[in-house]
């Protein structure tokens, strides 16, 4: 039984963590596809002088529906300049699209685009303001962050994105009382998972901290270790972590490795 | 090469070959008496008939338990690691004594799997205060089974005394013997194959195995997932401890899946790796993989690297 109705997806204020351009392209295409499904107004911020390969039409070149939506104006490119990152401006544009009859609005851009026009500290403020906008309006924002330049900031980034983090193989989002994770947790993303868990359990608010594993399809040894070490500080301080609703084969590995017998770890009901 | 310093001083894995019920009862009674006298817990297992016979002859005791093979001895590797888990988790410091008969396999392949089980017991359980007496009845076991038993037990019980067994064969050597019938990669071309160059391709290899297994076999989802974890760990090992590229080949049958993982690394595989309970982080991958599948064989690949053959089946093993 999946807890609390969270499902992995492309909605909300999401952080897209990518290693390679191909991952960024795939993520943006999927996110746009979801927007088209919803009939949403889709806005994309890019530098006016961006490399042709990185522009939105290039990212969507394999998606005829998206290209057609661009022609109709449902998908709109917004040239990046400092005013683009003013929360009031963002709110105005969003409200404008809603009054045009769109049921919801989606907006995306790469963090490096922002860093090219405003200082990073200002961008951090904008991210927090955007997070609030996403709760006050039917707005979903996808922020693309290159892993290499952003790994150190994962703590702040995950806190300022209520929709959570997506990377190539997994997604993690805050839920009431904890964190939900979906996808495949393995050697390639265990460092990210560990950082996310450390951040999430630094000031969790509720004990036991719930880690919803119902959407995790695959867990390997490094992934399992990340679950342990990401929550180690919290548990060493007396905190408890409940591993909720793991799928049977995931539960099997957890049990085999003795993770369910580690200090402070509880195993919730297996799906 | 296992050094004797890694074996617990109170560990024993002995063999009693008998052709009468009286010998069996005498041997079991003596074993139980020694076990109880040592302060340990004793388990006598067997078929329901055997257990009934033993209960009558040996009686009861607070530290003596009886168990049925149909519950305890379902599949060789499952049984082996269940013992290991029990021993690793025991909070009482005393010894565990177990006596009984390994089941007769339903076919030659299954029988050989039990032989390989016997050969691996020392490696898997040798670190614990564990005393086992395996009883083999010549009246209902073929000569080949008796021969395999003699090749896989370091000590034999003769006249109620444990003696060194001159016919014992080291596990790595036993695996190469005809009696072991070590599984090999099928001669037919694989159903699917992938060549992995780096960790970023692990996920794709896993997906390929899963998709092909679902498409061409009726093996249960749980079993497929277990194989997927095992293949992922073994492939990661090949990249980490061996060398890329790592080739992953899958053969699918309706009721079974066979996967071969070959790396291009230096080789020198240890066929008995992954049986011992890991005490550190290293070499856990193989230990996990062995518990996820029905059989795992480590050998050499044609290119001189390591090869690992994994087998899962939904048929009773």
Residue pair B304/B267 in contact (Cβ under 8 Å)? The answer is yes
Taking the CA of residue B313 and the nearest CA in chain A, the distance in Å comes to 16
How does pLDDT run across B266-276, given as a tens digit for each residue?
888 899 999 99
Query: What residues in chain B have per-residue pLDDT under 50?
Result: 1-4, 316-317
Neighbours of A232 (CB within 10 A): 19
* Number of cross-chain residue pairs from A and B with Cβ atoms under 8 Å apart: 43
Look at residue A16 and give its three-state secondary structure: strand
Residues of chain A contacting residue B199, judged by C-beta atoms under 8 Å apart: 187-188
Residue in A225, A249, A256 nearest the CB of B222: A249
How does pLDDT run across A29-54, given as a tens digit for each residue?
999 999 999 999 999 999 988 888 88
Taking the CA of residue A86 and the nearest CA in chain B, the distance in Å comes to 38
Distance CA A69, CA A34 (A): 13
| Confidence band for A1, pLDDT divided at 50, 70 and 90 | very low
- The sheet with strand B96-100 has its strands ordered as B64-68, B41-46, B96-100, B130-137, B12-18, B155-158, B161-164
pLDDT at A34: 95
Sign of the C-alpha dihedral, residues B47, B51, B52, B57? positive
Residue pair A175/A212 in contact (Cβ under 8 Å)? The answer is yes
Residue in A218, A219, A221 nearest the CB of B284: A221
- Given an 8 Å threshold on Cβ–Cβ distance, is B285 in contact with A225? no
Residues of chain B contacting residue A220, judged by C-beta atoms under 8 Å apart: 229, 232-233, 236
Residue in A188, A220, A225 nearest the CB of B233: A220
Best mutation target among B229, B246, B293 (most A Cβ atoms within 10 Å) is: B229
Whether residue A5 is predicted with pLDDT greater than 80 in this model: the reply is no
| Confidence band for A220, pLDDT divided at 50, 70 and 90 | very high
Residue pair B230/B243 in contact (Cβ under 8 Å)? The answer is no
Neighbours of B97 (CB within 10 A): 25
- Given an 8 Å threshold on Cβ–Cβ distance, is B203 in contact with A220? no
Residue pair A13/A219 in contact (Cβ under 8 Å)? The answer is no
Cα within 13 Å of Cα(A3), Cβ side: 26
Query: Which among A264, A195, A251 has a CA at the least distance from the CA of A224?
Result: A251
Quick one: B129 exposed, middle or buried, by C-beta within 10 A (0-12, 13-18, 19+)? buried
Distance CA B268, CA B12 (A): 29
- Given an 8 Å threshold on Cβ–Cβ distance, is A249 in contact with B229? yes
ipTM of the complex: 0.85
- Given an 8 Å threshold on Cβ–Cβ distance, is B226 in contact with A220? no
- Given an 8 Å threshold on Cβ–Cβ distance, is B281 in contact with A257? no
Distance CA B221, CA A203 (A): 38
Best mutation target among A169, A256, A260, A271 (most B Cβ atoms within 10 Å) is: A256
Residues of chain B contacting residue A253, judged by C-beta atoms under 8 Å apart: 229, 288
pLDDT at A131: 94
Largest Cα–Cα separation, chain A: 58
Mean pLDDT score, A228-249: 95
Residues from B in contact with A at Cβ < 8 Å: 199-200, 202-203, 206, 222, 225-226, 228-229, 232-233, 236, 281, 284-285, 288, 291-292
- End-to-end Cα spacing for chain B: 29
- Given an 8 Å threshold on Cβ–Cβ distance, is A248 in contact with B284? no
Output the CA–CA distances (angstroms, integers) from residue A215 to A8, A181, B3, B83, in the order listed. 8, 6, 45, 32
Distance CA B261, CA B2 (A): 25
Residue pair A103/A140 in contact (Cβ under 8 Å)? The answer is no
pLDDT at B1: 40
Quick one: A22 exposed, middle or buried, by C-beta within 10 A (0-12, 13-18, 19+)? exposed
Whether residue A3 is predicted with pLDDT greater than 60 in this model: the reply is no
Residues of chain A contacting residue B285, judged by C-beta atoms under 8 Å apart: 221
Q: What percentage of chain A reaches a pLDDT higher than 70?
A: 99
Residues of chain B contacting residue A256, judged by C-beta atoms under 8 Å apart: 288, 291
Best mutation target among B203, B226, B286 (most A Cβ atoms within 10 Å) is: B203
Best mutation target among B288, B289, B290, B292 (most A Cβ atoms within 10 Å) is: B288
- Given an 8 Å threshold on Cβ–Cβ distance, is B236 in contact with A248? no
pLDDT at A251: 94
Whether residue A271 is predicted with pLDDT greater than 50 in this model: the reply is yes
- The sheet with strand A265-267 has its strands ordered as A75-79, A41-46, A105-110, A139-146, A13-18, A164-166, A170-175, A178-185, A209-219, A241-244, A265-267
- Given an 8 Å threshold on Cβ–Cβ distance, is B200 in contact with A219? no
Output the CA–CA distances (angstroms, integers) from residue B249 to A113, B208, B235, B262, B309, in the order listed. 44, 10, 11, 9, 10
Quick one: B306 exposed, middle or buried, by C-beta within 10 A (0-12, 13-18, 19+)? buried
Hey, which residues does B261 pair with through a beta bridge?
B248, B308
Output the CA–CA distances (angstroms, integers) from residue B247 to B189, B215, B217, in the order listed. 14, 21, 21
Contacts for B70 with CB less than 8 Å, ≥ 6 apart? B47, B48
- End-to-end Cα spacing for chain A: 6
Residue pair A158/A199 in contact (Cβ under 8 Å)? The answer is yes
pLDDT at A4: 56
Best mutation target among B91, B202, B208 (most A Cβ atoms within 10 Å) is: B202
Residues of chain B contacting residue A262, judged by C-beta atoms under 8 Å apart: none
How does pLDDT run across A78-129, given as a tens digit for each residue?
999 999 999 999 999 999 999 999 999 999 999 999 999 999 889 999 999 9
Taking the CA of residue A219 and the nearest CA in chain B, the distance in Å comes to 8
CA dihedral A196→A240→A222→B185, nearest 10 degrees, is -140
- Given an 8 Å threshold on Cβ–Cβ distance, is B203 in contact with A186? yes
Rg (CA), chain A: 19
Look at residue A212 and give its three-state secondary structure: strand
Distance CA B259, CA A186 (A): 20
pLDDT at B3: 45
**Alpha helix (H) residue ranges in B15-75:** 21-37, 48-58, 69-72
């Amino acid at each position: 039984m999946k807890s609390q109705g969270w499902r992995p997806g492309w909605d909300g204020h999401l952080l897209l963590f990518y290693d390679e351009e191909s991952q960024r392209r795939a993520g943006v295409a999927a996110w746009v596809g979801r927007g088209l499904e919803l009939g949403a107004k889709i806005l994309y911020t890019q530098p006016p002088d961006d490399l042709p390969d990185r522009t939105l039409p290039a990212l969507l070149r394999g998606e005829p529906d998206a290209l057609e939506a661009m022609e109709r104006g449902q998908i709109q490119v917004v040239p990046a300049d400092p005013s683009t990152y003013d929360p009031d401006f963002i709110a105005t544009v969003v409200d404008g699209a809603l009054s045009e009859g769109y049921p919801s609005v989606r907006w995306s851009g790469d963090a490096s685009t922002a860093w090219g026009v405003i200082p990073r500290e200002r961008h951090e403020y904008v991210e927090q303001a955007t997070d609030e906008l996403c709760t006050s309006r039917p707005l979903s924002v996808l922020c693309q962050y290159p892993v290499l330049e952003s790994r150190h900031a994962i703590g702040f980034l995950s806190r300022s994105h209520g929709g959570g983090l997506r990377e190539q193989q997994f997604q993690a989002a805050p839920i009431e009382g904890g964190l939900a994770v979906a996808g495949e947790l393995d050697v390639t993303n265990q460092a990210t998972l560990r950082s996310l868990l450390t951040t999430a359990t630094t000031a969790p608010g509720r004990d036991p901290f719930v880690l919803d594993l119902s959407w995790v399809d695959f867990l390997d040894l490094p992934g399992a270790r990340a679950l342990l070490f990401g929550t180690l500080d919290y548990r060493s301080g007396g905190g408890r972590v409940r591993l909720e609703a793991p799928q049977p084969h995931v539960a099997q590995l957890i049990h085999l490795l003795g993770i369910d017998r580690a200090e402070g770890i509880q195993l919730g009901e297996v799906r | 090469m296992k050094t004797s310093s890694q074996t617990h001083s109170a560990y024993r894995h002995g063999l009693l070959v008998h052709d009468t019920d009286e010998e069996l009862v005498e041997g079991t009674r003596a074993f139980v008496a020694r076990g109880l006298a040592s302060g340990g817990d004793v388990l006598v297992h067997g078929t329901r008939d055997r257990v009934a016979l033993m209960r009558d002859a040996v009686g009861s005791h607070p530290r003596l338990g009886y168990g049925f093979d149909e519950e305890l001895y379902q599949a060789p590797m499952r049984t082996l690691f269940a013992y290991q888990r029990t021993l690793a988790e025991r909070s009482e410091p005393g010894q565990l004594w177990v006596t009984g008969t390994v089941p007769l396999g339903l076919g030659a392949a299954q029988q050989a799997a039990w032989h390989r089980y016997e050969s691996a017991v020392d490696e898997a359980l040798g670190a614990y205060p564990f005393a086992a007496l395996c009883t083999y009845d010549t009246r209902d076991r073929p000569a080949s089974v008796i021969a395999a038993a003699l090749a896989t037990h370091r000590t034999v019980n003769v006249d109620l005394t444990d003696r060194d067994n001159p016919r014992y064969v080291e596990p790595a050597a036993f695996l190469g013997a005809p009696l072991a019938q070590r599984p090999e990669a099928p001669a037919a071309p694989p159903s699917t194959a992938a060549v992995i160059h780096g960790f970023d391709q692990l996920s794709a290899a896993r997906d390929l195995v899963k998709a092909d297994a679902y498409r061409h076999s009726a093996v249960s989802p749980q079993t497929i997932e277990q194989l997927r974890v095992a293949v992922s760990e073994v492939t990661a090992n090949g990249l980490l401890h061996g060398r890329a590229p790592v080739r992953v080949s899958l053969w699918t049958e309706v009721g079974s899946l066979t996967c071969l993982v070959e790396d291009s690394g230096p080789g020198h595989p240890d066929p008995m790796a992954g049986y011992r309970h890991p005490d550190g982080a290293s070499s856990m991958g193989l230990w996990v993989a062995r518990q996820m599948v029905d059989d795992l064989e480590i050998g050499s690949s044609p290119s001189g690297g390591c090869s690992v053959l994994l087998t899962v089946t939904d048929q009773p093993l």
